[in-house]
A and B are shown apart, each in its own frame.
Chain A
């Protein structure tokens, strides 16, 4: 009974710190459920960065100019860097990178479903930057103020780079939209394919998002899925118009009374199907990660073996 009361008061104190916007740090006490939720969220985010390298990596060797090639390669490299900070942030909660990777490879851990869609033309590099990174930024900017310190600090850096990527993606779209008919067609075709999947990036409808309430209370999450989706549509429809492109949704119309865009219903069957592993690229993306990990095993073992030999030699030299 005594422990329970003590725990209750610890829970209350914890919530009071959250409510006062005091950052939680790795050595602070935290409820198990808070720790688990964060590990799940941060590792999913890290996996998304790493898996997300694949659809864009698909165009590095075919980028249409040296400048575009350099920008794209730097961008994909930034994503690897984001993966590293995020795995480190999750490690501060007691998760190990090996275990997180094992969970990704076994299919236990998820990553953002958007990366299970294929990148089929150069314009996809524009859409991934403009729309996918645009949606990611809306999801992630509030995380710069999230309650867990190491996550919030990692996100400040991630968001700075993401907004840079988003501008680069928009600029690719702008160049295509202002280009030859073949380029404009390429841009519109890519927008047609990416529009709905990016709306899905905000997750299920609020009414079907069971974790939202607790995450909002812990200030791990600061806006609901539907709030962010609306914000995204309000931002992107005018940008598409500016580009001279059309979003593939006849219902996307300005609603004067709501001071917001109305838009059509996301195909939730497709959303859940891709989440469950049935997207065109789910199998290939995961296979690519597993293969890289398995084929890299001997390299990681060699590095460890060499470090151990070196340490042993140094110790022997000191002993003499």
Chain B
């Protein structure tokens, strides 16, 4: 059985110039923070899902994201070369040092909010990983290669639920509309590059997000059409800041819970 504790050691990092290494560290950390925070949110559903099968599905996605998180933090720690571990990176950084986009820290809300948040993320995540696995940095490509298979399943799950909720009952439609109206404002940040991402894109280490957009938009249009949901007429003001460490009020509470044990009992082994 594939056990979550048994992670493959990452292949050795290729030699990058120190500035590039630092930028790549920041980018990998951003990806790790993103998967950790979203996986944490999904794990909050555990035991409380709308039906047992979906409880299992959400725990499964949370586990995949957590597995990806660990590989990414391990690689980030290696790039940094300061002797920090995956747990140091996850548990001992303040919210302002977290680099996840705002979308993934948004609270679960009802099942429609969780599904919309997941769909917006999965559509980006899957297409990003698809490109990263062909990228020149072997360790990152290796992590992407493993995770893209899982992300394809996640995108299938969230797409199917968008369709079911959109083309289900009047209530599910109303809840879906509300969730889309709430969360759409956080979608643009995913594909808006930070200075670090732009620099890495210039070096070909990170895909140009403009190249990902056509496939992402085509998939979203297809799913929304199946769901009989018209594309949002008024696009709300795009919120961003998380990738630069400027978060919403929600992340502090999430980290207070996530980091509780390591903060209360510093330096112990668990």
Contact = CB atoms under 8 A, between A and B. Distances in A.
A218 B230 CA distance: 60
B258 A62 contact: yes
Interface in B146-179: 163-165, 167-169, 171-172, 175
A63 interface: yes
Contact of B168 (A74, A291, A301): A301
A243 B173 CA distance: 55
Interface in B45-66: 46-56, 59-60, 62-63, 66
A298 B110 CA distance: 11
Interface string A279-317: 000000000100110011111111101100100000000
A305 to B, nearest CB: 5
B42 to A, nearest CB: 9
B233 interface: no
Contacts of A233: none
Contacts of B46: 53, 57, 60, 73, 76-77
A180 interface: yes
B5 A77 contact: no
Contacts of B50: 292, 295-297, 299-300
Interface string A42-61: 00000000100110010011
A300 to B, nearest CB: 6
Given A73-B46, A122-B270, A66 B52 contact: no
A60 to B, nearest CB: 5
Contacts of B59: 73, 76-77, 80
Interface hub of A63, A65, A183 (most chain B Cβ within 10 A)? A65
B269 A70 contact: no
Given A70-B5, A296-B49, A302-B169, A77 B258 contact: no
Interface in A8-59: 50, 53-54, 57
Contacts of B268: 64, 179-180, 182-183
A76 B169 contact: no
Chain B interface residue number, banded = 35 or more
Contact of A50 (B52, B70, B165): B52
Interface in B79-99: 86-87, 90-91
A300 B164 CA distance: 10
A303 B161 CA distance: 8
A65 B49 contact: no
A76 B47 contact: yes
B47 A70 contact: no
A182 B262 CA distance: 13
Interface in A54-107: 54, 57, 60-71, 73-74, 76-77, 80-81, 83-84, 87
Nearest to B90: A66
Interface string A189-209: 000000000000000000000
A305 B63 contact: no
Given A65-B270, A179-B268, A182-B265, A299 B172 contact: yes
B244 to A, nearest CB: 24
13 contacts: A61-B258, A62-B260, A62-B261, A65-B91, A65-B262, A70-B70, A73-B43, A77-B60, A182-B265, A298-B171, A300-B51, A301-B168, A301-B171
Q: Which 6 A-B pairs have the closest CB atoms?
A: A296-B50, A302-B168, A302-B172, A70-B4, A64-B261, A299-B50
Interface of A: 50, 53-54, 57, 60-71, 73-74, 76-77, 80-81, 83-84, 87, 122, 172, 175-176, 179-180, 182-183, 288, 291-292, 295-303, 305-306, 309
Given A64-B261, A306-B164, A309-B167, 11 more contacts: A53-B47, A57-B47, A65-B262, A66-B69, A77-B60, A77-B63, A80-B52, A87-B52, A122-B270, A180-B268, A305-B172
